[in-house]
Amino acid sequence: MIKENLALAYRILAHMQLDDATYTHLSARSAERDSYYIYPFGLLFEEVTADNLLKVSLNGDILEGAEYQYNRTGYTIHGSVYAHRPDINAVFHLHTPATVAVSTLEKGLQPLSQWALHFYNRIAYSAYDSLALNMNQGENIVQDLGYKNVMLMRHHGMLTCGKTIHEALFYTHHLELACKTQMMILAANQPFLELSPELCGKTVQDLLSFEKDLGKRDWEAWVRKLS
């Protein structure tokens, strides 16, 4: 079901309008764990099916689907994360206007909404370094990510990771809403209320322990929406 669920994730994000033509990518680690699935370069998210996914080694060699084109930046990012983080089984990389905007702010994402509190002291940042086309850049991204699951790539977009595909989708959905809300607050150009560090720390624990299998309930709802 890994390929089927990954294809569903592509179509869910297309439905959310979080794709960027053919320029962003989602992946999931294979059952063998030494490879992962990713879509062919040139497809829209809405066109992805389990049958047209590529299977790629952690070194970037295409194991299945060699008739398709591949996106070098995708393999640089995804292969590096899987090689260094055995706890991660899904990696989503997106560029949306809201996440790019917040990534350029010196303080990045601020605890201004309940959506943002999912990431309180749990978000990483990576400096902009053009297109990620070589493994040295992949190594830098992994070092910046550390042991966190969510990262804003400065001037670029977001990287969200999970133990499961639905956990990565959960982080993606909440990060997008957090960034949209923050930019709306800043656009109002008015003083805003701040939350105490103590309350932020308590809330992030509550939010991330609210359900046993993080993101599963929302995943099932999105799948029903597409059916």
CATH of the domain at 83: 3.40.225.10
pLDDT at residue number 227: 86
Query: Residue 187 pLDDT > 60, yes or no?
Result: yes
Q: Number of structural domains, the chain?
A: 1
Query: Could you report the per-residue pLDDT of 68-123, keeping only the tens digit for each?
Result: 777 777 778 899 999 999 999 999 999 999 999 999 999 999 999 999 999 999 99
pLDDT at residue number 73: 72
pLDDT at residue number 131: 60
Query: Residue 133 pLDDT > 60, yes or no?
Result: no
pLDDT at residue number 212: 92
For all residues of the chain together, what is the average pLDDT? 93
**What are the DSSP E strand ranges found in the chain?**
25-29, 35-38, 54-57, 62-64, 90-94, 123-126, 150-153, 157-162
Q: What is the pTM of this model?
A: 0.94
Provide the domain limits for residue 6: 2-226
Rounded distance, CA 108 to CA 97, Å? 14
Rounded distance, CA 11 to CA 222, Å? 10
